[in-house]
C-alpha cells in the first residue's frame, strides 16, 4: 500500500470584488486525502499571509471549510472546521469602538475597520475525517475570527457588516483601490498586497 504525498502550496488569495467571495459555500461530502491536502494548503497560505484565519472561498474553492491560527492571551488557537455552523450571542447595536473593534481581512489587504461582533461565539462542524468538532470563544480575537470565517462561507465580507462612517469609508476605499472587478488576487510571501 502506498500513500499519496501532497505538496503543500501557498495559494493566491482573492481580493474584494471577486464574485466567489460573495457565493455561499457548498457542504463538504468527500473526506479524503485531497481534502486533507487542501486544509494543509489553507494553513500554509494563512501563515504566509500572517493571517488569523482563512476560508476556502478566499482561495477560490467553493467548499465549506476554514482554518484558524492565532495567539490570544498567550494561548495559541489552531484548527480547522468543515461544514461549520455558528452560534453567537446578540450582535452589539452600538457603533464599534475604533480601537478595540478593529478588524481586517486577507481579502481586503491593508485595510482595517471597526466592526461589531458578538462577544461569544461557538462553531460546530467536523474535521477532515468527518469527526465532530466544536470551537467556543467567550471573548476577543478567537470569537471575532470564528464569526469572520463563517461569514466568508456565507458569502459575506466583513465590509458588509460596517455601519455609519465606517461603511462610507469602506465604499470609498473599494473604488479608490479599483476592487470593483473580479479576478484580483495576491500571493502571500511573494508580494505586498497593499
Residue 151 lies in a domain: yes
Residue 168 has pLDDT above 90, yes or no: yes
Residue-number span of the structural domain to which 128 is assigned: 13-186
CA proximity to 23, closest of 60, 73, 50, 49: 60
For residue 132, the model assigns a pLDDT of 98
Selected residue with higher pLDDT from 181 and 89 = 89
Q: Angle at CA 147, nearest 5°, toward 103 and 6?
A: 95
Q: With contact defined as beta carbons under 8 Å apart, do 66 and 37 qualify?
A: no
Residue 128 lies in a domain: yes
Alpha-carbon 41 to chain mean position: 14
Can you say which residues are annotated as belonging to the binding site for Fe cation? 105, 148, 152
Can you say which residues are annotated as belonging to the binding site? 105, 148, 152
Q: Assess whether 134 carries a catalytic annotation.
A: no
Residue 53 lies in a domain: yes
Burial pattern 93-129, b for ≥16 Cβ within 10 A else e, equals eeebeeeebebbbbbbbebebbbbbbeebbbebbbbe
Q: With contact defined as beta carbons under 8 Å apart, do 112 and 144 qualify?
A: no
Mean pLDDT of 45-55: 97
The enclosing domain of 81 has a CATH number of 3.90.45.10
Cβ contacts of 52-56, under 8 Å, gap ≥ 24? 52/141, 52/145, 53/145, 53/148, 53/149, 54/13, 54/106, 54/149, 55/25, 55/149, 55/152, 55/153, 56/25, 56/153
Mean pLDDT of 154-161: 96
Residue 153 lies in a domain: yes
What is the chain's mean pLDDT, rounded?
92
Question: Residue 194: pLDDT band by 50, 70, 90 thresholds?
Answer: low
Residue 3 has pLDDT above 60, yes or no: no
Residue 1 lies in a domain: no
For residue 40, the model assigns a pLDDT of 97
Number of domain units in the chain: 1
Residue 97 lies in a domain: yes
Catalytic member of 44, 103, 111, 149:
149
How far the first Cα of the chain sits from its last, in Å, is 47
Comparing 44-53, 98-107, 152-161, the range with the smallest average pLDDT is: 98-107
For residue 2, the model assigns a pLDDT of 41
For residue 91, the model assigns a pLDDT of 82
For residue 18, the model assigns a pLDDT of 95
DSSP state of 59: G
Question: H/E element holding 72?
Answer: strand 65-72
Mean pLDDT of 54-70: 98
Mean pLDDT of 157-165: 94
Residue 93 has pLDDT above 80, yes or no: no
How far apart CA 59 and CA 165 sit, in angstroms, is 30
For residue 95, the model assigns a pLDDT of 75
Question: Residue 150: pLDDT band by 50, 70, 90 thresholds?
Answer: very high
Residue 157 lies in a domain: yes
CA proximity to 38, closest of 56, 22, 14, 20: 56
Mean pLDDT of 53-80: 97
User: How many Å is the Cα radius of gyration of the chain?
Assistant: 16
Residue 8 lies in a domain: no
Amino acid at each position: 500500500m502506498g500513500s499519496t504525498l501532497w505538496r503543500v502550496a501557498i495559494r493566491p488569495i482573492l481580493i474584494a470584488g471577486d464574485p466567489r467571495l460573495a457565493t455561499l459555500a457548498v457542504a463538504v461530502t468527500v473526506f479524503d486525502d485531497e481534502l486533507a491536502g487542501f486544509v494543509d494548503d489553507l494553513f500554509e497560505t494563512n501563515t504566509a499571509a500572517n493571517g488569523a484565519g482563512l476560508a476556502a472561498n478566499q482561495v477560490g474553492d467553493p467548499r465549506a471549510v476554514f482554518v484558524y491560527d492565532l495567539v490570544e492571551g498567550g494561548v495559541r488557537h489552531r484548527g480547522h472546521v468543515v461544514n461549520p455552523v455558528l452560534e453567537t450571542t446578540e450582535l452589539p447595536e452600538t457603533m464599534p469602538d475604533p480601537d478595540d473593534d478593529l478588524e481586517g481581512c486577507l481579502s481586503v489587504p491593508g485595510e482595517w475597520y471597526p466592526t461589531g461582533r458578538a462577544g461569544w461565539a461557538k462553531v460546530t462542524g467536523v474535521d477532515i475525517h468527518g469527526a465532530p468538532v466544536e470551537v467556543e470563544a467567550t471573548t476577543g480575537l478567537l470569537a471575532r475570527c470564528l464569526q469572520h470565517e463563517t461569514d466568508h462561507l456565507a458569502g459575506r465580507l466583513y465590509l458588509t457588516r460596517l455601519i455609519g462612517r465606517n461603511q462610507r469609508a469602506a465604499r470609498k476605499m473599494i473604488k479608490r483601490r479599483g476592487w470593483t472587478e473580479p479576478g484580483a488576487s495576491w500571493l502571500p510571501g511573494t508580494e505586498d498586497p497593499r
